[in-house]
Amino acid sequence: MGLFELSSALVLGGSLNETNNGVSAEASSVQCKLQGTLRPPAFSADGDYIIGGVFSMHLYIVDSRELRFSRAMIFAIEEINNSPELLPGITLGYQIYDSCASVPGTIKVAFQLTNGLDVVFHPSDNCSQSGMVLAIIGDSGSTLSISISRLGLLSLQQYPSFFRTIPSDRFQADALAKLVKHFGWTWIGAVRSDSDYGNNGMASFLDAARKEGICVEYSESFYRAHPRSRVRRVADVIRRSTAVVIVAFLATGEMKLLLEELEKEPSPPRQWIGSETWVTDPQMLRFSFCAGAIGFGIQQSVIPGLREFLLDLPPSKVAASTLLTEFWEDSFNCRLAENLFVLFGHVCDGSEDLQKLQSPYTDTSQLRVTNMVYKAVYALAHAIHSAVCQETNFTTQCEKLTKLESKQILTHLKKVNFSQNGYDVSFDANGDPVATYELVNWQKSETGNLEMVTVGHYDASLPVGQEFRLSSNITWMEGRTRVPVSVCSDSCLPGTRKVLQKGKPSCCYDCLPCPEGEISNQTDSNDCFPCPSEFWPNSERNTCLLKPVEFLSYNDILGIILAAFSVGGACLAIITAAVFFSHRASPIVRANNSELSFLLLFSLTLCFLCSLTFIGAPSDWSCMLRHTAFGITFVLCISCVLGKTIVVLMAFKATLPGSNVMKWFGPPQQRMTVVSFTFIQVLICTIWLVLSPPFPMKNLNTYKEKIILECALGSAIGFWAVLGYIGLLAAFCFILAVLARKLPDNFNEAKLITFSMLIFCAVWITFIPAYVSSPGKLTVAVEIFAMLASSFGLILCIFAPKCFIILFQPEKNTKKNLMNKNES
């Protein structure tokens, strides 16, 4: 707001010919001419040192609040003059002017103060330096104070000399932006006075708001002198807007005009955020639809004795002052008898009582800016005290005849540091005080009237993030207790990301779900980020969960079924071997090479059990074991079948006249054949294990949402070499079995071998595409199924018919029956 500033007139303490203006001392012979007419002071008193004051005590009528400011200045000066400690023996005087709330009037009285009051110049006179002021206190409005401060930029003096007892609007703008951010409002409207106060303050606020990520839907300005249509247009913008929160950096005059316009046609509920000027003005509380307004104000204070001083206006004092006379007549709606121009109204009869007057002048319950005037006077008094007084033998000696220059006061003013009525006073290098504010909230009292309630404090000197101290009893618009929401778009929840809406501010966006495999774990996230390779988003896509590890385990139904068939197959092979062993002397067992039959049953048992190594979590040993055991046991199995097939062929060749082939393929040769074929597979597996063995790995590619724990082949060539060798032996065995299937015999085993090899080859031919295309643990299941299916094919096709005869048709289990030839 309104900055109560110690203005640039501080250094303009001498006439325009003063040495520190850059003009030589000899310039005193220059003739001065009066420009315009003098404006008499509203209040004045002589003294050893004079302090000037500029207040906007008139607009159209007397502003009783500004009148209180000027009277507070007089009170502080009289208090200092009566003080035995501060400036003892020295009297401070004052010259207080009414700027009439206009920039030209303010500048005129500022020049008048800085050049002295004895300005009835004659052509032969030197420019007088009597009545000089050391400093000017004022104005209470920022625009007018800035106009005074700019006098220091006109090259009239050398040193900048602008001090504030109210914090700069820059601090207030920063505080307002942080307040808006604190409550999560990212979509706001902005209204300002079209003046230095409003434009500079709003520019600072918008800059701070932009840094806080706050978007502004609109920013409107107007001035009280603008046409009424301009105010109506701003009101219409507010009514049509979607922003619930409005930041109003307005002077009281403009705010009053705006609220009066909105009162005619109320807008939807709005949360007002106010600057210090209007949000702490008691006269604004009559606008009840602004209940819940919140903003920063100068700290409340107590000035002992001030109220009594303000009420001490005897008729003689009122009559002696034109300004007080006007105030008295306006306040009590009467005319003093001394006023000869009374045309309307009754004559004041002496019954008027200031004690009962409800006016900002008499209201000392909210002393905010008033205290700043009070502190400004004391700051100047301390600066003068430092310049003209000395402490000797526990006494203070002040020299009233000391001629002070403005730069001396400036030097001492920069160093002041004191406490008055519990309030610290000091200035930084820029002439600013520590920025502290009260957070003021407009709340309805029990009587239904609005009142200002302090609900927090702000201290800019505290570390970032600790500036606010808020209470929980804030009342919002329409008496709500919950913080209103003012956003262009609702917050994007975790699991989504923001996508800006084309052509709109950054606070307006759509919320899109994170892509597959990505998450966002913060509200209003701009981007989603992928989970680590072994993690996957949950269904809400707001956190990464460890992917479940999948493998064919004994806990799976599929694993249990396959394990049961595996164990069942092994048991079947053992039972078959037991049946054959118990009937080993019977013709049907002896006729078909019982040694190879037992070896085949043993290898089938291993084939069945081998599939168990494929179930369970892969490890280094299980991966190497499962593939090598599979390759070797199946080659052993096929080698036995191949041996049996060759035996059948050799046996029938041996029946031909002159044939002695059986001696070349007797039992030793049969054993050697099985060992040789098996050794080749052992050699292939050994090379595979040495060069590039299978190993457990986490398959992250087949499924995005889970990990497949499987055995990598290590060397694909090694795996397909093992599988190809098995296929080669099976194909060779199948061909021989087909050739021997029509040989005459009641029990030609070649037919059984043909069917078994047909099943074996069919299974493994279909295995290849199924193996390649099956995902995850199904790959292992397909491999186990192929092993079990081919093993069951062999044991059922070769041994089931024999066991049936042994157990259920023993009459056919005779040598005679086996030797009968089939009729051709």
Pairing between β-strand 450-459 and β-strand 395-398 as defined by DSSP bridges:
unpaired
Q: Rounded CA gap, 99 and 108, in Å?
A: 8
H or E segment to which residue 412 belongs: helix 406-413
Residue 744: the pLDDT is 57
Q: How many residues does the chain have?
A: 824
Question: 59-96 burial, b for 16+ CB within 10 Å, e for fewer?
Answer: eeebbbbbbbbbbbbbbbbbbbbeeeebbeebebbbbb
Best CATH choice for the domain 170-301+433-479 from the list 3.40.50.2300, 3.40.50.1860, 3.40.50.1110, 3.30.1370.60: 3.40.50.2300
Encoded tokens for 2: 């309104």
Q: Rounded CA gap, 499 and 482, in Å?
A: 29
Contact 438, 423 (CB under 8 A): no
* Helices 620-654 & 716-740 angle (0-180, nearest 10): 20
Mean pLDDT of 605-632: 88
Q: Lowest mean pLDDT: which of 62-71, 243-252, 572-581, 586-595?
A: 586-595
Q: 719 Cβ partners below 8 Å, 6+ apart?
A: 627, 688, 694, 713
Name residue, tokens 């009237």.
Answer: 449
The domain spans of the chain are 32-162+309-337+349-413, 170-301+433-479, 496-546, 557-810
Query: pLDDT tens digits, residue range 418-465?
Result: 998 888 899 888 888 988 999 999 999 888 899 999 999 999 888 988
Residue whose C-alpha is closest to residue 615's, from 789, 780, 774: 780
Residue 158: the pLDDT is 38
Query: pLDDT tens digits, residue range 369-423?
Result: 899 999 999 999 999 999 999 888 888 888 888 888 778 888 899 899 999 888 8
Burial class from Cβ neighbours inside 10 Å (0-12, 13-18, 19+) for residue 285 reads middle
Residue whose C-alpha is closest to residue 251's, from 149, 327, 139, 122: 139
Contact 4, 165 (CB under 8 A): yes
Pairing between β-strand 187-193 and β-strand 215-222 as defined by DSSP bridges:
parallel
The CA-based angle 555-560-561, given to 5 degrees, is 150
Q: 330 Cβ partners below 8 Å, 6+ apart?
A: 61, 62
Q: Rounded CA gap, 740 and 719, in Å?
A: 32
* Helices 369-388 & 64-81 angle (0-180, nearest 10): 30
Tell me the average pLDDT of the chain: 83
pLDDT over 90 at 823, yes or no: no
Query: 154-163, 414-423, 654-663 — which one is most confidently predicted on average?
Result: 414-423
- CATH homologous superfamily for 557-810? Rhodopsin 7-helix transmembrane proteins (1.20.1070.10)
Residue 401: the pLDDT is 81
Pairing between β-strand 549-550 and β-strand 695-699 as defined by DSSP bridges:
unpaired
Residue 341: the pLDDT is 53
Residue 110: the pLDDT is 81
Contact 591, 818 (CB under 8 A): yes
| CATH architecture of structural domain 32-162+309-337+349-413 | 3-Layer(aba) Sandwich (3.40)
Mean pLDDT of 192-204: 92
What phi and psi values does residue 365 have, to the nearest 5 degrees?
-80, -20
Give the residue ranges of DSSP H helices in 655-715.
667-691
Burial class from Cβ neighbours inside 10 Å (0-12, 13-18, 19+) for residue 163 reads buried
pLDDT over 70 at 745, yes or no: no
Mean pLDDT of 708-737: 86
Residue 4: the pLDDT is 37
Residue whose C-alpha is closest to residue 156's, from 18, 13, 21: 21
Q: Rounded CA gap, 639 and 596, in Å?
A: 10
Three-state secondary-structure class, residue 73: helix
Q: How confident is the model at residue 21 (pLDDT cuts 50, 70, 90)?
A: very low
H or E segment to which residue 219 belongs: strand 215-222
CA dihedral 786, 791, 792, 794 (to 10 degrees): 130
* Helices 667-691 & 716-740 angle (0-180, nearest 10): 160
Residue 283: the pLDDT is 87
Sign of the dihedral defined by the CA atoms of residues 392, 394, 399, 402, in that order: positive
Q: What percent of the chain has pLDDT over 90?
A: 35
Residue 12: the pLDDT is 29
pLDDT over 90 at 567, yes or no: yes
Sign of the dihedral defined by the CA atoms of residues 311, 316, 317, 319, in that order: positive
Q: Rounded CA gap, 203 and 189, in Å?
A: 14
Sign of the dihedral defined by the CA atoms of residues 379, 380, 381, 384, in that order: positive
Contact 272, 250 (CB under 8 A): no
Residue 656: the pLDDT is 52
Q: Do domains 32-162+309-337+349-413 and 170-301+433-479 have the same CATH topology?
A: yes
Q: Rounded CA gap, 108 and 148, in Å?
A: 10
H or E segment to which residue 444 belongs: strand 436-444
C-alpha 390 chain-centroid distance: 58
pLDDT over 70 at 121, yes or no: no
Residue 119: the pLDDT is 41
Encoded tokens for 116: 């002295």
Q: How confident is the model at residue 594 (pLDDT cuts 50, 70, 90)?
A: confident
Mean pLDDT of 604-623: 89
| Other CB atoms within 10 A of residue 261 CB | 17
* Helices 749-773 & 777-808 angle (0-180, nearest 10): 170
Name residue, tokens 């060749």.
Answer: 653
Query: pLDDT tens digits, residue range 278-313?
Result: 999 888 999 999 999 999 998 888 999 999 999 999
Q: Which of left, alpha, beta for 418 (phi over 0: left; psi -120 to 50: alpha)? A: beta
Contacts by 77-86, CB closer than 8 A, 24 or more apart: 77/45, 77/47, 77/51, 77/377, 78/309, 79/305, 80/377, 80/378, 80/381, 81/47, 85/396, 86/378, 86/381, 86/382, 86/385
DSSP-assigned beta bridge partners for residue 499:
510
Residue 269: the pLDDT is 93
H or E segment to which residue 509 belongs: strand 509-513
The CA-based angle 255-259-260, given to 5 degrees, is 115
Q: Rounded CA gap, 247 and 205, in Å?
A: 9
Q: Rounded CA gap, 467 and 448, in Å?
A: 32
Q: Rounded CA gap, 286 and 263, in Å?
A: 11
Q: How far is CA 675 from CA 313, 671, 681, 733, in A?
A: 131, 6, 10, 16
**Tell me, what DSSP letter sits at residue 104?**
H
Q: 585 Cβ partners below 8 Å, 6+ apart?
A: none
Query: pLDDT tens digits, residue range 36-63?
Result: 577 789 999 999 899 999 998 987 788 8
Residue 456: the pLDDT is 93
